[in-house]
Structures are given as structure tokens and as C-alpha cells.
Amino acid sequence: MKILYGTFYWLLAASVAVALEWYEISAIKYSESQPNNPVSQLGEVLKKEDQEYLKSADPLKRLQWVLEKLKVPEETQTLVFSKTSAQTRLISPTRPRALYYNDDVYVGYVPYGFLEFVVADPKLGMVFYTMEPDKKGDFRFKRDASCLLCHGGGRSGGAPGLVMRSMQTDRYGEVVSGTQDYNVDSRTPYNHRWGGWYVTGAVPKGHLGNRVLDEELKPQLAAENIYDQMKAVPVDGHLYPNQLSEGGALLAFEHQIRVHNVMSYIILKFRQRVILKKTILNRDLTEAEALDLAKQYMPDLLGALFKVGDLKLEGEDIEVAPEFKAAFEALSPADSKGRSLRKFRSYERLLQYPLSYLVYSESFNKMPAPLRSAALAGIHDELTNKTQTTEISRGMKKRLHEILLGTHEEYFKRYGL
């Protein structure tokens, strides 16, 4: 017997009585607060000619227009065919849902469906939108509260965040009941990853991607060849910008899930506790008091940034498509020696350096000032051996310190003079 997620997914989720979350009833008022992030900013500057183009464009051209405006590389595309989103009726192994991302923005696309967005907001953490036409036919970015049914904290670290599921499906993309499903980030065992996802490029064997279960629950390839599967989509022209669903893009996505979910939680919790302390003290917190409070949230954030506990990959070397590699590496700066936190490595892990490139993200660099100061201080203390909370070698720490001095403006201002 199967659970038909495509038919009942939202009905089941919506029927569960859930207490109002802490970030809604506190002074945070997550859903009522005005966001300020790349998606909300784009929505504010749409012009008449933009609307005319969006109305006349086909779904793919509309997607590419949005990706360009938000500076999201289309080469980061990953493809998921399990029916586990709000657009389940449109998703199948022959028409998967595509996801794209940069350091702050995630875009979901199903051909002939609406566009979905998750964006890291410096004040609110992860915020959810759809882009659909209004009654006049103009396209609008609208915050989507229904996303919180699955992304509201239970699977995303206690606050609105990213969720990546690994689930066993049949040949139609329906999730098969009685099979194990997994929440995935960079620490998840490799043999639990990517059920219901296409995986291209060379990665170690043993993952759950590129396969479906037959009637006897035996795994079968979702397609003899992912590229043939994509070419077989029964529509005129191309539905997707490319035929990539790189294992490297999935590995980077999993890393970002961990970091962004931690950041989302600590941003909201820090703001909540600051407001509570101000109420108790009947005054604003001093800079020192706010910094002391921020430091309480650093172990989880620094652990994610330094990739502590991330799974080391065993087996075959990792190879990524050159177009993904070029687009991905271009998102972060390199120092005068050409060193970058996005430099690829072919074995054990995706990237050479054990420090997250998300230190360059807008969401990191626009966090509340005490959190940002505490994070940069924690990174500096680890890299200069004032603390010893990671297993990173002294030589590697020295190189990381040099890279940040040459590429991160605030880090240099604080520690380079």
C-alpha cells in the first residue's frame, strides 16, 4: 500500500493541529514582519516593461529572467522527482522539480507551475515566497505561509528553514509507504541521501538517487540514462535550462542547508532574547551585554561554518561538470594567490578548504551586529589557535586566515592591521 503524497500531502499536513510557533507569538512576529532581502527588493522595483515581458514569456524564459535578476546561476540546477512539494501534481520522473541557488536565494521551478523562493533574510532568517500573477495578470512575489507546514521548524532546526528529503518513490514519483525517509544535510550518512533525486556527474556509489521502486519494492533505475530521460520530456522545445543535476551541486546544497538553518534559528532567537532582556532591564542592552548574549549561539554556528561533523566521502573521486564548476567558483572571491573557499577537491569532500564560503553571503554579513562580531571573533580565534574546537591542522588554519584577510573586507578591518 502506498501513501499517495501527491493527492493527500497538503491535506494531511494542514489537518494537523499545531500550536502557534514561538517565532510568531513572541515580539518577533515572523509572518507579520516586513522582510528586506533580494526577493522582496526585486518585487519592489518591477516595472511595466518587466511585467510585459513576464506575461509574454514562456515558463523557461520567465525562470531565466528571474534567475538573472537574482544572480542565481542556472548551472546550480538539481532535479527532484519525488512528489514532496506544494506542486506535487506536476512533478514526476519525466518532469522533475528543479532547484537553483546562490549564497542567499533558492528558486524552485516546475514547468507550467509557479515559481517558489526561499531567501535568507538578515532579520527574519529564511523567508518563503511564490511568484504568481494577480487578478490583473501582473506577476507578484507573495509570502507563502503554507510553506511553514513543512519548513516551519520541525525538520529545519527549530525555526523556518530549508528541508531536503530523501524518499523512496515508485515510477510515478509517489512516495512508497513503509520505506524509510531521511532529512538530509552535510552530516547525513551517504547511503541515506538523494532518494527521489537525479544525480549526474561522478560521485561515490551507494546513494539512493536515480532510482525508483517497482511493485515488489525492488530498486530500478529511474531512467537508463538521465540525459535520455530529460530529452524524453513530451513538450516542444526545452523545459529546463540544462540537463544537469550534479552530485556536486547537491553536496553544496546540503552544506548550505546546515549553515542557513543554524543562522535562521540564532537570528530569531537572539532577537527574541534581546527584546526580553530589554523588557526585564527596562533599558537597551550595552554593546558588551549584547555580545555576551550573541556568543551563546556561536558553538552551533561555528560548527556549521567549519563543517564539524560533516561526512567524509569514501570511494570514487568526485568530478563535477565544468559549467557547474565555473559558475559555482565565480560566486566567491579569490585572494592574490588564487585561493578560494570554493576551490574543489576530488576526494573525501567536495571543497578543499574546511571553512564555509557563506561567510561572504549577504545573510552572514548583515546579521545583527553582535552575532556577526561574535562569529568573526570565533573564526579568528580558531584560525589563530586561541581556541581549539576543530581538528583543522595549524597549516590549514594559517592558509584560511590568509585567505580571509585577502578576501573578506570586515575580517581584514578587524584583524589585518
Residue 198 and residue 8: Cα distance in Å, rounded?
A: 24
Beta carbons within 10 angstroms of residue 70's beta carbon = 20
Percentage of the chain with pLDDT > 70?
Answer: 91
- Going by the DSSP 8-state scheme, the letter that residue 37 receives in this structure is S
The set of cell numbers assigned to 118 is 526561499
Is 102's pLDDT higher than 60? yes
Please check whether residue 221 is in contact with residue 210, taking contact to mean a CB–CB distance below 8 angstroms.
Answer: yes
Is 15's pLDDT higher than 80? no
The predicted model gives 33-37 an average pLDDT of 94
> SS3 for 80-127, per residue?
ECCCCCCCHHHCECCECEEEEECCCEEEEECCCCCEEEEEEECCCEEE
Main-chain dihedrals φ then ψ at residue 100, nearest 5 degrees? -135, 155
Written as one letter, the residue type at 363 is: S
Strands 125-133 and 139-143 come out as antiparallel
Please check whether residue 85 is in contact with residue 54, taking contact to mean a CB–CB distance below 8 angstroms.
Answer: no
More confident residue, 387 or 227: 387
132-145 pLDDT, tens digit each? 999 889 999 999 88
Residue 115 and residue 101: Cα distance in Å, rounded?
A: 13
223-237 pLDDT, tens digit each? 554 444 544 443 334
- Going by the DSSP 8-state scheme, the letter that residue 35 receives in this structure is P
Is 360's pLDDT higher than 70? yes
Percentage of the chain with pLDDT > 90?
Answer: 72
Q: Which residues contact 20 (CB under 8 A, 6 or more apart)?
A: none
Domain regions of the chain by residue span: 5-231, 248-415
Band (13; pLDDT cuts 50, 70, 90): very low
Please check whether residue 116 is in contact with residue 38, taking contact to mean a CB–CB distance below 8 angstroms.
Answer: no
**Which residue from 244, 215, 214, 216 is spatially nearest to 229, judged by alpha carbons?**
244
Residue 58 and residue 51: Cα distance in Å, rounded?
A: 13
At residue 27, the pLDDT reads: 80
148-163 pLDDT, tens digit each? 777 777 788 889 999 9
Residue 11 and residue 6: Cα distance in Å, rounded?
A: 10
Q: Is the sign of the CA dihedral 31, 34, 37, 42 positive or negative?
A: positive
Please check whether residue 207 is in contact with residue 199, taking contact to mean a CB–CB distance below 8 angstroms.
Answer: yes
Please check whether residue 83 is in contact with residue 9, taking contact to mean a CB–CB distance below 8 angstroms.
Answer: yes
Tell me the whole-structure pTM to 2 decimals: 0.91
At residue 319, the pLDDT reads: 87
Written as one letter, the residue type at 104 is: D
Residue 262 and residue 347: Cα distance in Å, rounded?
A: 27
